[in-house]
Amino acid sequence: MSSKNVYFIKTITNLHVGSGDITYGVIDNMVQRDCVTNYPIINSSSLKGALRAFFEGIKSDNIIEIFGKDSKDNNTNLENDALGGKGKMAFFDAKILFRPVRSNKRPYVLVTCPQALNDFFEYLDLCKITHNITNLKDLENKCNFKLEDNEKFEEISKTLSNSENFEELVNLLSLDGENIIICSNEEFSNLNLPVIARNQLENGESKNLWYEEVVPRKSIFYFMTNCEGEDNLNDTFKEVIKEKLVQIGGNATIGYGFCNISQLKNK
């Protein structure tokens, strides 16, 4: 028997989970992206590694049971042998659901699109999480606008708020509906991520200038877990990460990648 759960990742600081690919363009270090949609993503291996490091940092008693035996650890024991080195929790890719966009009407708005919402509801269906959103087309039909047209934000927000499907979405995510905009898939794909210049200095002289892409703070990802066996392991995982700062990705020493993780409850 297995149980599935969905969790949100809310980025407190800018996030850089590098793709590791060689690039020949202006940007040296790119973030990981979904191979189908090209939206920013946190690959499951990167996510699991970050979560394991967090559990090791607080010396949790459930590390091997949740994550399995560390491949770098050659010292076997009876507990490792009994588990076969395999953890009881499987971690799926963390996909982006919302990202912030600046507005001249308010500090920022959270933007998503029908494709991102469809991917999200696929996870909900896999986890058998109930919701009353019956018609995503209803939301998609209200998305025909340009993000740079800030003058229409109030009008768009009012139109969306009159949709029962949108109201259900806001309630499901426990977000402020007045701060959410649903744009077209094309508009969402065309949103550029911030690029930050980094420099290595030696005696005040630049030795290595490079540019790296980041996912901006206030972005929201979601991921799914599948746990084999006891439900208490899910409860342990949820309690350990609850209201904690979890660091994901690179550049921790300059404050990148600090996030809050919370479970989506089945209402």
Residue 85 lies in a domain: yes
Is pLDDT of 94 > 80?
Answer: yes
Residue 102 lies in a domain: no
Backbone angles phi, psi at 89, to 5 degrees: -110, 130
Answer for the pair 135, 165: CB distance below 8 angstroms, yes or no. yes
Cβ-in-10-Å burial (0-12, 13-18, 19+) of 239 comes to exposed
Q: pLDDT band for position 71 (50/70/90)? A: low
Residue 68 lies in a domain: yes
Q: pLDDT band for position 85 (50/70/90)? A: confident
Q: Of 8, 1, 3, whose CA–CA distance to 128 is shortest?
A: 3
More confidently predicted of 96 and 27: 96
Residue 82 lies in a domain: yes
Per-residue pLDDT at 29: 85
243 contact partners, CB below 8 Å, separation of at least 6: 260
Residue 125 lies in a domain: no
Query: Which tokens go with 176?
Result: 């402020």
Residue 59 lies in a domain: yes
Is pLDDT of 265 > 60?
Answer: yes
Q: What is the mean pLDDT of residues 217-235?
A: 88
Mean pLDDT lowest among 24-28, 127-131, 220-224, 255-259? 24-28
Q: Tens digits of per-residue pLDDT, 128-178?
A: 887 767 666 666 655 555 555 555 555 555 555 556 677 777 778 877 767
Is pLDDT of 1 > 80?
Answer: no
Residue 253 lies in a domain: yes
- In angstroms, the CA 89 to CA 176 distance is 32
Query: Which tokens go with 224?
Result: 């799914």
Q: Tens digits of per-residue pLDDT, 4-31?
A: 899 999 999 999 998 876 666 678 788 9
Q: What is the mean pLDDT of residues 110-116?
A: 90
User: Can you give the residue range of the structural domain that contains 265?
Assistant: 1-17+44-92+217-267
Answer for the pair 3, 253: CB distance below 8 angstroms, yes or no. no
Is pLDDT of 87 > 50?
Answer: yes
Q: The domain that contains 234 carries what CATH number?
A: 3.30.70
Answer for the pair 224, 263: CB distance below 8 angstroms, yes or no. no
Q: What percentage of the chain carries pLDDT values higher than 70?
A: 77
Q: pLDDT band for position 183 (50/70/90)? A: confident
Residue 230 lies in a domain: yes
More confidently predicted of 70 and 114: 114
Per-residue pLDDT at 81: 47
Answer for the pair 113, 185: CB distance below 8 angstroms, yes or no. yes
C-alpha torsion sign, points 100, 101, 107, 109: negative
Is pLDDT of 217 > 90?
Answer: yes
Query: Long-range CB contacts (< 8 A, 24+ apart) of 98-101?
Result: 98/175, 98/180, 98/219, 98/220, 99/40, 99/191, 99/215, 99/216, 99/218, 99/219, 99/220, 100/216, 100/217, 100/218, 100/219, 101/147, 101/181, 101/191
Per-residue pLDDT at 261: 96
- Say how many domains are in the chain: 1
Q: What is the mean pLDDT of residues 231-236?
A: 83
Answer for the pair 166, 177: CB distance below 8 angstroms, yes or no. yes
3-class secondary-structure state, position 238? helix
Answer for the pair 223, 91: CB distance below 8 angstroms, yes or no. yes
Query: Which tokens go with 107?
Result: 């500090």
Backbone angles phi, psi at 227, to 5 degrees: -110, 130
Per-residue pLDDT at 73: 60
Plot region of 204 (φ>0 → left; ψ -120 to 50 → alpha; else → beta)? left
More confidently predicted of 62 and 176: 62
Q: pLDDT band for position 75 (50/70/90)? A: low
Share the mean pLDDT of the chain: 82
Q: Tens digits of per-residue pLDDT, 201-216?
A: 777 777 778 889 999 9
